[in-house]
Structure 1
């Protein structure tokens, strides 16, 4: 037993000597590393102090003004704001620092623009098939935002659009061709569906004007109206034209709005940041 205890003690002394030599060399080379014994724990004493060693935290809001005010009040050296266009969010890293003197990048202010009810409405109806009554009622709910446009660019009021949709009738016809050859036979059938609205002009496009996000400017979305039939019953759908272009423009508008608010306080960049 005495021999085993002596061997264990010598191993501890040797391990401690090696660790001390390594830590001394690391200090001389200004390296932020240290060797510790396996049974040593590091305890952060900051939680027991009356104050933190440094300010840090995460703030979240949907208000542009509150986001800007908090960011300007808490911004440290090198603070920067990043706008992520995919979900229209902005993140201000308040202690980013610089390349020479980088910060911990753990003090953040986050903001997500809130969509309006009108923008939610057109996103939900985008591509959805509706009956005449369903679409007419949806348009009546949003008549203040709606205008129609025919193929020949004739403008229609909301009342004209709703009346035309309610009066849609379907005319269906079919033609068939049959050709016999010596070694082959071909058959074709063309089904034609024609929609009319009892001499009322039928819109091909719906212009929907709304403010998409709180804080951004009003814009007009063009929705293409299409028709298909199920057992001679018309189903209509609206699809937003070039939605990607709207997303790009709204992201640029969002970034421009924040840059205008911040001025020279901190830069605004479109993109995502992670430390």
Structure 2
């Protein structure tokens, strides 16, 4: 195996620190071809769909990628902005805000998408070119799941396996119970209550995963419920005043409920 070298490495240069934020990803546009390309990458990840590879590949390319991209493209058009993908735009704003918070420190900040652009490999190379030798990777998922933070680290490690020189690496794979995160959620809820009024019950909706993943030890379900409890405590509401639910089921097997 040939490893990616660093022929432009300069001895004596000062090692820099870098922070790479990573979010899920988005198609480059709402065109069907771009959506198909994105879904192919997303649904080919074994962390997302834990199924026999040959069987799943046949289903994915023989059925799903022939029908779903057109439907998904129409759904993306409902939320797409003139500037592009809202997920990408908001992720960029967050990255810029974090960088501004550390202004004056010699830290390189970057944003990558697990699927789509800017890709993990391209941003890892950008970090290398910026002289980053100490890298912190922060998946932008508060709760850990093998399907999210686990997959991000797969991509990071896969990239490093190809390199001759590896940076000092640190990761933050969850922050579901951090007080600053809970307070930010509470502030958002309070703002909504002040603007729209307080409803009979607060519904806290998380993206779902197959129940089988929970049974096999994925902590995501438990961490979502703990986030909900901590948020309720911060808001001063009882267990009767809120409910935790899961959304976006895909396929026929049982997913997290309700």
What TM-score comes out, normalization by structure 2 length?
A: 0.23
Structure with the higher fraction of residues in helix conformation? 2
| Higher RCO (CA < 8 A, seq sep 6+) | 2
More strand by share: 1
Bigger Rg over Cα: 1
